[in-house]
Amino acid sequence: MERTLIILKPDAVQRGLCGRILSRFEDKGLKIVAMKFMKIDRDLAERHYAVHKSKPFYPGLIQYITSSPVVVLVLEGRNAIAICRKMMGATFGSNAEPGTIRGDLGVSNTFNLIHGSDGPETAAGEIRLYFNEKELVAYDRAVEPWVYDFSGGQPQ
């Protein structure tokens, strides 16, 4: 099973969309293994978005992500990263397809509701930024055999 970091950004919190967005991931069958409500400080924001430091949108990105509380979570599931990114949709709501989180809930070309890791290495690093090992909860769900077909021994 794969893990990914998801951040429900300040606009999602301020618009009261966190429950609706979280429900979409749970409805899909992804498992929450960590979650917290927090305010990202400037230092953490700069570490998280270090890859974008030289880009013109960087100062605005830091201001935005530190402007209000966020919900940070780790989701787990087979191909969780690709599934979450597909569910999120194109970066900005005005370009995102209907049926995606951004396509259904966003219209802004700057605010985009949600962050999701873009690959396994990125996910591992981002998860370490926000959670320590003790905060990642391993548990079995009774619904798991109904989410994945385990008849071949591996989740399908």
**Residues designated catalytic:** 115
Dist. CA 156–CA 150, nearest whole Å: 6
If we measure between CA atoms, which residue out of 21, 14, 5 comes closest to residue 129? 5
CA dihedral 74, 79, 85, 88 (to 10 degrees): -70
Dist. CA 129–CA 108, nearest whole Å: 27
- Entry field: residues in the chain: 156
Residues forming beta bridges with residue 72, ordered by sequence position: 7, 36
